[in-house]
Amino acid sequence: MIELRTPAEIDEMRPAGRFVASVLEATAAAAKVGVNLLELDAIAHELIRKAGAESCYIDYHPSFGASPFGKVICTSVNDAVLHGLPFDYTLKDGDLLSLDFAASVNGWVSDSAISLVVGTPRDADLRLIETTERALAAGIAAATVGNRIGDISRAIADVARAQGYSINTDFGGHGVGRTMHGDPHVPNNGRPGRGMPLKPGLVIAIEPWFLETTDRIFTDPDGWTLRSADGSRGAHSEHTVAITEQGPVVLTQRSS
């Protein structure tokens, strides 16, 4: 069911957005060569505890997950692009890391993701990350009253295709509110003028993710982590966005 939020409810969602943004900033700053993925999860866990927030991940067990997730942040490295389950892995120079985090504050959820290079970057990785960020910006710009879901999807796809990336539509954006995942689905490819009309009060996560040389993925033996079929690297960017009469409002905007 698609729910529209009042302006007052959107204001109530802002603390969750600020908190999610702050955790991503803290974990991204800590992601250095020699740091373990489990350390990043521990940082996020402690920030949740201090804020009195609730994890959206730790007990999360959808149909596509092998078991409850058990951690509080997704850490996807190199050929992993989504749902990366933190494990005993120490970050190395040149690793491409995607961090995806969602939490509930006062009963409202926000969801966001960023990608970064640990240590010395490859030009191809920076291009991939920059493309996801530009695609996210294009999707947000299209999230205006009077447009449709397909307009967001097409805006994202146009940026990806201009850089030669193909697009997987198995996973994409989604509604956000009292729970992490709700209707509508927001694919990263679509036809303009198609799909649900965008109305004031709709809150969605917009999340382009691309792989360097494929659009095919498989699930890691951990039952969660999604990896590229050909071993190429992936990047992922995401914001929670409220659609208002005044234009899109990014609830998870980071300070940098």
pLDDT (tens digit per residue) in 126-147: 999 999 999 999 999 999 999 9
H-helix or E-strand containing 2?
A: none
- Asked if residue 111 belongs to a known ligand binding site, the reply is yes
8 Å CB contact between 66 and 222: yes
Q: What angle do CA 21, 171, 111 make, to 5 degrees?
A: 15
- Asked if residue 158 belongs to a known ligand binding site, the reply is no
What pLDDT digit, counting tens, does each position of 21-54 carry? Answer: 999 999 999 999 999 999 999 999 999 999 999 9
Domains of the chain: 7-250 (3.90.230.10)
Nearest to 192 by CA among 136, 229, 149: 149
- Asked if residue 83 belongs to a known ligand binding site, the reply is yes
pTM reported for the whole predicted model: 0.96
**Amino acid at residue number 188:** N
Residues in the chain: 256
Query: What CA–CA distances, in Å, run from 148 to 96, 101, 121, 151, 197?
Result: 33, 26, 37, 5, 4
- Give the 3-state DSSP-derived string for 138-180, with helices as H, strands as E and coil as C: HHHHCCCCCCEHHHHHHHHHHHHHHCCCCCCCCCCEEECCCCC
- Asked if residue 100 belongs to a known ligand binding site, the reply is yes
Q: How confident is the model at residue 63 (pLDDT cuts 50, 70, 90)?
A: confident
Task: Report the first-to-last Cα separation within the chain, whole angstroms.
Answer: 34
- Asked if residue 174 belongs to a known ligand binding site, the reply is yes
- Asked if residue 12 belongs to a known ligand binding site, the reply is no
- Asked if residue 41 belongs to a known ligand binding site, the reply is no
Please, how many CA atoms are within 13 Å of residue 176, restricted to the half-sphere of its CB? 33
